[in-house]
């Protein structure tokens, strides 16, 4: 396979064509995709009509996979059943266990509203994420786009005084912090104890490109050692700066699209759609960052 990489934005994001991920790919193709990701951080592969097992197999070429947590599946909030059997697949849809559209008051519907905030997948875990892959099975007729922000380009554009200010700062991340901002889901005691806060440097060097990147988002609750209000104000300022239009690529989904993004140097958010009227069936895999896994261990 001689894949073709076409830039989609002046700073980052690219489309990869001439590759069929439903078939085994050779090492050269695998490395070419990794090289494109190192450079562009977000890669769109259209026309990939994959079964869940094929998506999992392709994802595993790039590292171990996180499994979807059981948050929102407590008794009285949807039970313990799963619509998708494989726990390596994160069910990013508005469908219940029977394949019907969820109501607005459903616990899982509340949780999915969090995805409309700028965030980085799994930053609330000490063993955070490397890449995520999102596969479009069914899309609504309007809305439901995904926006991505390049936090390497945003860091590069910061004034020197701000770069110096950020040196050595550590932010604490919690899934319950973002949950409180949108959706109103109330976790059980077991859930709270299972997902304790994680701490990450606010500026991290992206290994693929060697560039510094901001590591923040809606899961970041405060900055360690800084007065609460001051830290939250700084985090909000950085998110606002990093999500200016010049740093953002907006993806309009088509069925069969597979979008891969690097959580170590991007933030993303979903855009609204008529979630009680139309189906949006998206399936995500998330690759664990082995460097952070080693630090967590």
Tens-digit pLDDT profile for residues 246-260: 999 999 999 999 999
Average pLDDT over residues 65-92: 75
CA distance 108 to 237: 30
The three-class DSSP label of residue 251 is: strand
Domains of the chain, residue spans: 4-296
Distance in angstroms (rounded) separating the CA atoms of residues 272 and 228: 31
What residues does 65 pair with on adjacent strands?
287
In the structure, what pLDDT confidence band is assigned to residue 78 with cuts at 50, 70 and 90? Answer: very low
* pLDDT top residue among 70 and 262: 262
CA 280 to chain centre: 17
% of the chain beyond a pLDDT of 90: 78
| Mean pLDDT for the chain overall | 91
How many other C-beta atoms lie within 10 A of the C-beta of residue 155? 23
* Beta-ladder partners of 93: 281
pTM above 0.85, yes or no: yes
Give residue-wise pLDDT tens across range 11-36.
999 999 999 999 999 999 999 999 99
Residue range 149-176: mean pLDDT, rounded? 97
pLDDT (average), residues 285-295: 81
Query: Does the structure show a pLDDT above 70 at 76?
Result: no
Bridge partner list, 148: 249, 268
Of the pLDDT bands very low, low, confident and very high (cuts 50, 70, 90), residue 10 is: very high
In DSSP notation, 28-74 reads HHHHHHHHHHHHHSEEEE-S----HHHHHHHHHTTS-B-----TT-S
In angstroms, rounded to a whole number, what is the distance separating the alpha carbons of residues 4 and 16? 6
**Right CATH for 4-296 from 2.40.50.100, 3.60.130.10, 3.80.30.20, 1.20.810.10:** 3.60.130.10
Residue 181 binned pLDDT confidence (cut-offs 50, 70, 90): confident
Length in residues, the chain: 297
- The predicted model gives 111-116 an average pLDDT of 82
pLDDT tens per residue, range 50-66:
999 999 999 999 999 99
Weakest mean pLDDT among 97-111, 156-170, 203-217, 269-283 = 97-111
- Both tokens assigned to 127: 């063993």
CB of 212 within 8 A of CB of 157?
A: no
The mean per-residue pLDDT over the stretch 267-281 comes to 95
């Amino acid at each position: 396979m001689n894949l073709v990489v076409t830039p989609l934005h002046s700073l980052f994001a690219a489309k990869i064509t001439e590759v069929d991920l439903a078939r085994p790919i050779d090492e050269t193709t695998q490395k070419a995709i990794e090289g494109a990701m190192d450079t562009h951080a977000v890669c769109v592969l259209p026309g990939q009509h994959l079964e869940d097992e094929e998506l999992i197999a392709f994802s595993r070429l790039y590292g171990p996979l996180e499994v979807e947590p059981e948050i929102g599946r407590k008794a009285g909030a949807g039970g313990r059943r799963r619509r998708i059997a494989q726990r390596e697949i994160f069910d990013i849809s508005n469908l219940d266990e029977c394949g019907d559209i969820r109501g607005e008051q459903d616990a899982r519907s509340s949780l999915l509203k969090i995805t409309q905030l700028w965030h980085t997948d799994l930053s609330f875990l000490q063993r955070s994420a490397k890449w995520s892959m999102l596969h479009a099975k069914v899309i609504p007729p309007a809305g439901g786009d995904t926006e991505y922000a390049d936090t390497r380009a945003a860091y590069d554009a910061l004034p020197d005084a701000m770069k110096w200010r950020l040196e050595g700062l550590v932010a604490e991340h919690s899934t319950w912090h973002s949950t409180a901002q949108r959706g109103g889901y109330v976790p059980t005691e077991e859930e709270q104890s299972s997902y304790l806060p994680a701490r990450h440097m606010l500026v991290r060097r992206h290994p693929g490109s060697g560039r510094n990147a901001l590591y923040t988002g809606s899961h970041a609750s405060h900055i360690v050692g800084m007065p609460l209000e001051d830290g939250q104000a700084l985090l909000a300022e950085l998110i606002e700066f990093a999500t200016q239009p010049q740093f953002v690529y907006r993806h309009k989904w088509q069925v069969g699209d597979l979008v891969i993004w690097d959580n170590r140097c991007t933030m993303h958010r979903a855009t609204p759609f008529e979630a009680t009227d139309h189906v949006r069936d998206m399936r995500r895999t998330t690759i664990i960052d082995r460097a952070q896994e080693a630090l967590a261990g």
